Amino acid sequence: MKILIAEDDVFIREGLQILLEEEGYVISLAKDGKDALNMFKEAQPDFVLLDIMMPEMDGYAVCREIRRHNASIPVVFISAKSEEIDRVVGLELGADDYIMKPFGTREVVARIRAVTRRCLAQQTLQTDAVDFFDMHGVQIYPKELRAKRGNQSVELSLRDVNILKCLYDNQGKVVDRDMLFDYAWGRNYLPSSRTLDQHISKLRKLIELDSKNPSIIQTVHGVGYRFDK
């Protein structure tokens, strides 16, 4: 899933990029309003994070232009402006949400996941259109970005879901590292075994009954990982 981040502050822009790439999103960056419109047409993102106070064109003007071309793409405003009238104007222009600066990483991730759920409910992505699939008693709900075991529910990132779906679709087979990277990180990502192993370790803690003795994501040493039904 692709996100366009339009933000003139380089530190916020790159910080959001790092944060959301870790979640599994493909990021395009724009440093001002005109750049944002050009990137919107070029990258064809699935949703947009849009700063309000930008050079060349402000976020309101950019949102109006985006809505002329696409009435349904989610747009989330990011702004340091706190007056209620600004929030009202943004929402009236068709924004789906409004994030106020300064913001915490957890807030951004939670709001983006909420937007992602709405996107996944409307379109078929890598995760397919299935409501859920079962992995040893754990139900994975791709469109909700959640996993459930009995009455317990845990939040998943888009990358978590893609990793689990890749293993599920190839159950009984060894999925090598390159395949997992292509499926969950993208073909242009430069692979690192440490990156993959760390992510798998975190994912096991979320879904396994015993993360030190996993039954869902099994390690095949020197090759990759496997899920056995």
Q: How do the pLDDT tens digits run along the chain, 229 residues long?
A: 889 999 999 999 999 999 998 888 889 999 999 999 999 999 999 889 999 889 999 988 999 899 888 888 888 888 876 555 566 666 666 677 788 888 888 888 888 888 887 776 665 444 445 688 999 999 999 888 999 999 999 999 889 999 999 999 999 999 998 888 888 887 666 656 688 888 999 999 999 999 999 999 999 998 999 999 8
Distance CA(30)–CA(16), nearest Å, equals 12
In a domain, 12, yes or no: yes
Residues 115 and 165 in one domain: no
Residue 25's nearest CA partner among 64, 59, 76 is: 76
Residue 196's nearest CA partner among 170, 216, 223, 214 is: 223
User: What pLDDT was estimated at residue 105?
Assistant: 86
Q: Read off the CATH number of the domain in which 210 is found.
A: 1.10.10.10
Residues 97 and 144 in one domain: no
Q: Per the structure block, which two tokens stand in for 183?
A: 């499926």
Q: What is the Cα gyration radius of the chain?
A: 19
Provide the 3-class DSSP secondary structure of residue 49: strand
What lies within 8 Å, CB to CB, of 1 at 6+ separation is 24, 25, 26, 46, 47, 116, 119, 125, 158
In a domain, 128, yes or no: no
In a domain, 219, yes or no: yes
Residues 14 and 68 in one domain: yes
Residue where a domain terminates, one of 82, 102, 122: 122
Residues 115 and 199 in one domain: no
User: What pLDDT was estimated at residue 127?
Assistant: 44
Cβ-based burial of 134 (10 A; exposed 0-12, middle 13-18, buried ≥19): exposed
Residues 83 and 163 in one domain: no
In a domain, 213, yes or no: yes
User: What pLDDT was estimated at residue 101?
Assistant: 84
User: What pLDDT was estimated at residue 88?
Assistant: 62
User: What pLDDT was estimated at residue 212?
Assistant: 92
Angstrom distances, CA of residue 170 to CA of 92, 122, 142, 225: 46, 26, 17, 10
Q: Which domain holds residue 161?
A: 133-226
Residues 69 and 173 in one domain: no
Residues 142 and 102 in one domain: no
User: What pLDDT was estimated at residue 125?
Assistant: 47
In a domain, 127, yes or no: no
In a domain, 151, yes or no: yes
In a domain, 62, yes or no: yes
User: What pLDDT was estimated at residue 87?
Assistant: 61
Q: Which helix (H) or strand (E) holds 19?
A: helix 10-23
Residues 112 and 137 in one domain: no
Q: Per the structure block, which two tokens stand in for 120?
A: 């996944």
Compute the residue count for the chain. 229
Q: What total of structural domains would you count in the chain?
A: 2
